[in-house]
Structure 1
């Protein structure tokens, strides 16, 4: 074999010499030399240059990646590449206006072509119907309905009587059996009413939509429980009841979610006393463990600069890492430094250990990457002074960097992130029931109640929520202010994101086990329900996995897990799902787009099943894990370790689809509708799992300091001593982007000065030019003194209006558009999986090839 290999290498070298081919050469050069001779010495190789130009154009046009095998070229001739992830511009509004249009895949163009006639027909019918109908002033209708309900509410016993009649009517409608035709007609009527009600603004219309959704859910639950649970075998019964149990979980979470979010409080900040001498003393805790000093410094500088009397504000770094560099920084910055000789109970133990060493009446807590604005304390402390029983004021956790979902699918600041629903709506709904959760950061706690309950809870790994539960059990009040007053870094990778959610899921399951809110003293009924819903939410792992695998029960084994016809299933389940989706779009539209919850749950379901199950069985198992922040990703890659469950589930559903096609074409089944229904279910699972795989394809990220848009006046000091008035475009830690009114000949590396204002004061910062393109100037501010670093944070992250208009560019939810986006994400994810698989195959082949002598 070795002799044969040497002989072939000699023949190849001789042929290359005869054709004038220099080693190493790719296949295209061999083909070129078959038709064109090499040029004479000193002459340009025109055919090779033309071939190279055509080759590069083909790579750009077809979107070829690093893998350039024959199979890859053939694949790209028929399948367009995944949509590129554009670099985020400093100002998204400018980015959307000036960036080139994103490449549209063949799937989206195919969907557009197929659905366009239906859209046009629907639009024409809608215009004709609307033209013949009166056009009411929906805002006036909403105000009139609110006023009427208010007047009725003042009539004695009107509210309880109305609620009783509504419940009795709903039960009667829910339990009335209907034929297929009757159920379809009921859905048509309900849908028409829903489409009218959703146009009416106001809370009364929202409550009406919730009632309609509850009615349709009730009909489905009654029908599902009484008409579909008769099975022909023990296997069918076991699998069927498993699906039924998963559905029961979703019904419970849906009902509790409506209760929790139907009436958000929208609390406004209370006014502080005019004399600062009456303001209380506050300790600011910044716990840290292994985070880099560059992450902690901005938070400390911003905390020192909050608008509060200096003699009543004391900042402490709580260092569980026992690092000399952190101690030296604390001394230089003029803040307190507290450490301990162990890490028992992690963050909760760190804070509890600091309590007896400080004396402020109130304690503000910030994670070490959460940078507060100057107005944080003045916005939050008024609530304590107005309500002596208030023990906790929580503000949102806001992130100025994209999380893995936003970065890997390029949805940052266009689609609400995973946490937007909790901090935008759920916490506001909890506040109505006096059930605001402590979230571990961006909050203020009153010292006396905290000491009364023994400090932060240490029995679970979610010490924050458990601490709030204990405070509420002791009769204390809480408050939630939806205005963003601090911002931090999101998790950088999907593995870190999943690790954080695993801790949350384990901790909530631990609380449910050791301090169940449904039992014990001190809580109101609605506080119990709010806490229970928050804990039950993290048990979605098993139900979601059931939904992702249930179609294969029929497609693989022919099991009837719902014992009725496919048409009856569609007649009951589709109205329930459609109405619930539209209602949730009304409730959550600003904070969670339709169908994105399924994507989030599909990504996390596999990983939270074991932690929650173990926590229920043994609540003391597990330990606290620190979420890594401020990392980098050198290049795109698919996280195969994280992706394994998604790939397996995806393969199971894909094989199910193939089997379903086989049943339709070659089987003797007399249930084509049932086959099609399960195939549609498996196809929907493929979309969600494809999106999950797409998220696991980590996008390259080399920027450590993220840019944040900010348009404020600034002054540029040029090297020749002249000044130029301009505006800032964006900022980051140690950097600034500016828009100049005229072209200025500044080379990269030139030294300039920048003046920024905070209130009535102006600060000067020396800077170095990093870019100067089309009147867009970027500067870097290195080697600043600690005083100037503090001033820079005050003028950027610490501004009171730093995050006021952050969400202005996010679009409101439109269910059909959101469905289209999620389908596109699933398709992109499948393409990314294919690319990563072929890359892995190429790498294996390359490694197994023998090395040349």
Structure 2
């Protein structure tokens, strides 16, 4: 009986598959992949046209004699027939062009109305609409706040309706195409109106995805699958929340202008300039002090103070020689905040300007910032950007300095300007001016957390003071030199922000407006991104290794919901912050830092009193390039896991899970993206050489060379540092290497001459090294270079605008280079170990 049932089942199966002879294995294998003609579903018209053209081309190019014979197709593909000598030659791409002609015709038909619409939109003047929108926004916030609240409630309700309205997968895909096409048109248009429309699209797409995830994809199996699934959806909810808060914070930058000072300097306030230091070298501190002493401010109203928590005799003698006040204390309680509070008790200026010891101010710093204190009596803080003239570890190790915005560019280029709109500008610890009376009112600089700067600003805002952000670079400093020091600094920031979130949470307590609470909360929540990033770097491994379906939905359904969310967010981010953060670089930065900030941030949230202040090392050297194995251990572990998961996924695709190919492909693509980002992290861990004691800064100003024989040659500087100059020449210079020459630089109508030696020489360029500079010479050199009022006006101007696909290509290249560094370093390490082992072997044998 069972044998009869088996025959019946085999007969039914052979009939359904169209197997004409059930006893032939080849028939079964063929029908497993190719259905009979009568059972095939017709292709869509466009695909049918493409297939017919492709079939004709393949038949002609492969020389298939019997197109209906599978055997002849296989023979034609595997056996190369010699071409007839009389046959005309044809370009290699001609068949491809012939094949794509129908598709190209269809695309042209679809794109023609888009081009016409785009051309008409380009001719529209969006200035009046922007001005009306800005006037309306100001009116609703200042005179009729109730209208603003009603609008916020209406938009929130509309967003909720759009997010929760159910759609079929086909309709959801159509929504994706509609929003994507409209966004591609809008992103070319100037003004705030297109930006706000794009933000609305992104909010709808992301909210629909999160609502769908929470309501339709959490039917998970109890145990590990449920734990991983809940962990993933919580990480996604975190990114959705941060996305919404980021749009509130960044979508409308204030772009505050400089407030002019009264024409009579006698009415200007007195200023104490605090320069904090602990163990930095004098060569790092000296340019900052000399630049501060050269600030364009009445000398009787300017007091430059060196706050030395290292209590060094060398620094005391230097302060005396240049006329700066030297302030020390008997202990180092509360680190930098305690140092600043001690200096407050020792000085009496109306305002306090704060600089880290490596941040060199330009001479116009005070004239650019102090005006806002006079215009707004409640203003307690004016912050300016932090600019770095040396590359950070990402820029140096990946070679992106000047081409890709650094990690901090987004904060000072977009976020702080957005905060300023809502009176929520942060104090960033340097390059800022604060009002003494306001500081004394709140009890001085905050000492309860490791981020005393942001915490001090929060307290000022709680007490009703206002702040201002002037996005005009008025100082520049040194970036972190190595990846460990960079990570150490970010760990301190993450711990400090988590402490603030626990001790003085901006969402609660009195004194803050709703938008101030949002701005502060978003900046604090940002530093909890380590754990979600680790979840995203490991989530697909649950399926690839253990077949856990942590998103309980078909792969195609997941795609039509997640793609609008990702694409719209990427396009909006590219528009708002394209000059300050290129696409896909946020993931690269987070992948590098995630492992190291996840634990400190969570521990500080649990125990906010733990942790200690650490100093960020500046001005170091790296004599030889090396791969930092210790710092890259987390990246290597995650890379090994993702690579193993990818290999297992290929097996599932080909053999084990052929019934859910879409799910396998989705997880393979996710894993490949993770491997790519981890490769970029490994590239950053490969430290490049840094042998310059003083970093070169581009600068083109007129200069004059004076030789001992009386010759004078007019030239132009190309770059400078505290050790030397590069100059451009109009004609070959009649001089030799190591020849002495004097160079004259000017500041205003004054000219200063410096003794130098020629270190390099070509027909169009020369390198000069400064020789025997006195303290006055060093001061004049700083005034002519770092402290020039126009020194940093073009900072970041040469950074190209974001192009998402080009940025992705760059990340792919850096990922490949990172794995190249890893393999070459591993090979070098293995070779060294083997060499040492071979040297020990004969000695052991002899003994």
* Counterpart for residue 83 of structure 2: none
Tell me by how many angstroms 1:158 deviates: 7.3
> Does residue 349 in structure 1 map to residue 333 in structure 2?
no
What is residue 130 of structure 2 aligned with on the other side?
A: 146
Q: 1:148 to 1:469 in 2, by over 3 A?
A: closer
Partner in structure 1 of residue 436 of structure 2: 447
Deviation at 1:172, TM superposition (A): 2.2
> Match for residue 524 of structure 2?
535
Contact 2:741/2:758 (<8 A) preserved: yes
Answer with 734-743 or 834-843: which moved more: 734-743
Q: Tell me, yes or no, if structure 1 residue 309 matches structure 2 residue 309.
A: no
Corresponding position: 1:245 with 2:229: no
In the TM superposition, residue 129 of structure 1 has moved relative to its aligned partner by 5.2
| Mapped partners of 1:756, 1:308: distance in 2 | 22
Give the whole-Å Cα distance in 1 for the aligned partners of 2:551 and 2:529.
Answer: 21
Q: Which moved more, 1:233-242 or 1:619-628?
A: 233-242
- Which ranges of structure 1 fall in alignment gaps of 5 or more residues? 1-112
Counterpart for residue 56 of structure 1: none
The secondary structure found in structure 2 opposite 1:192 is: helix
Q: After superposition, where does 1:322-401 map in structure 2 within 5 Å?
A: 322-401=311-390
Task: Decide which of 135, 160, 169 is 2:119's aligned counterpart.
Answer: 135
Matched length: 738
For the 8 Å contact 1:384–1:391, the answer to whether it is kept is: yes
Q: How far is the alpha carbon of 1:126 from its aligned partner?
A: 8.3
Q: Could you say which residue in structure 2 is the equivalent of 1:425?
A: 414
Are 1:513 and 2:502 counterparts?
yes
Cα distance, 1:825 vs structure 2: 1.1
Deviations 1:779-798 (A, max 9, x none): 11122111110000000000
CA distance in 2, matches of 1:147, 1:329: 54
What does 1:280-679 correspond to in 2, within 5 Å?
280-679=269-668
1:449–1:658 distance in 2 versus 1, CA, 3 Å:
same
SS in 2 for 1:849: helix
Q: SS where residue 356 of structure 2 aligns?
A: coil
What CA deviation, in whole Å up to 9, does each residue of 1:778-825 have, x standing for no partner?
111122111110000000000000011121221000111111111111
Distance in 2 between the 1:197 and 1:663 partners? 42
Q: Secondary structure at the match of 1:757?
A: strand
Q: Closer, same or farther in 2 for the Cα pair 1:150/1:408, shift >3 Å?
A: closer
Change (3 A) 1:480 1:125: farther
CA separation of 1:351 and 1:340: change in aligned 2, threshold 3 A: same
CA 1:173 to 1:499, structure 2 compared with 1: closer, same or farther past 3 Å? same
* Separation in 1, partners of 2:670, 2:695: 40
Q: Deviations over 1:571-591 (max 9, x none)?
A: 100111001110111111011
Instruction: For residue 138 of structure 1, report the CA deviation from its aligned partner.
Output: 2.6
Determine the C-alpha separation between the residues in 1 that align with 2:107 and 2:691. Answer: 46
Gaps of 5+ in 2: 1-95
Report whether the alignment pairs 1:754 with 2:747.
no
The Cα of 1:200 is off from its aligned counterpart by 2.0
Distance 2:492 2:109 in 1: 51
Q: Considering only CA atoms, is the larger Rg found in Structure 1 or Structure 2?
A: 2
Partner of 1:227: 216
Show CA shifts across 1:463-488 (max 9, x none): 10001011111111110010000000
Q: How far did residue 501 of structure 1 move? A: 0.2
Of 303-312 and 734-743, the range deviating more from structure 2: 734-743
TM-score, length-scaled by structure 1: 0.84
Give the corresponding residue for 1:786: 775
In the alignment, is the contact (CA less than 8 A) between 2:742 and 2:754 conserved in 1? Answer: yes
Cα shift readout 1:599-634 (whole Å, capped 9, x = no counterpart) = 000000000111111111111111000000001111
**Structure 1 pair 152/353, CA: closer, same or farther in 2 (3 Å)?**
closer
Query: What's the offset of the Cα at 1:669?
Result: 4.4
Match of 1:692 in 2: 681
Q: 1:210 to 1:840 in 2, by over 3 A?
A: same
Match of 2:43 in 1: none
Cα drift, residue 150 of structure 1: 6.4
Over aligned residue pairs, what C-alpha RMSD do you find?
A: 2.1
The question of whether the paired residues in 2 share the 8 Å contact of 1:642 and 1:696 is answered with: yes
Moved more, 477-486 or 189-198: 189-198
> What is the CA–CA distance in structure 2 between the aligned matches of 1:756 and 1:255, rounded to whole Å?
51
Q: Distance in 2 between matches of 1:491 and 1:148?
A: 44
Give the TM-score, by structure 2 length: 0.85
Tell whether 2:811 aligns with 1:827: no
Alignment of 1:737-752 (within 5 A): 737-752=726-741
**Residue 131 of structure 1: how far off its partner (Å):** 5.3
**Secondary structure in 2 matching 1:536:** helix
* Equivalent position SS for 2:631: helix
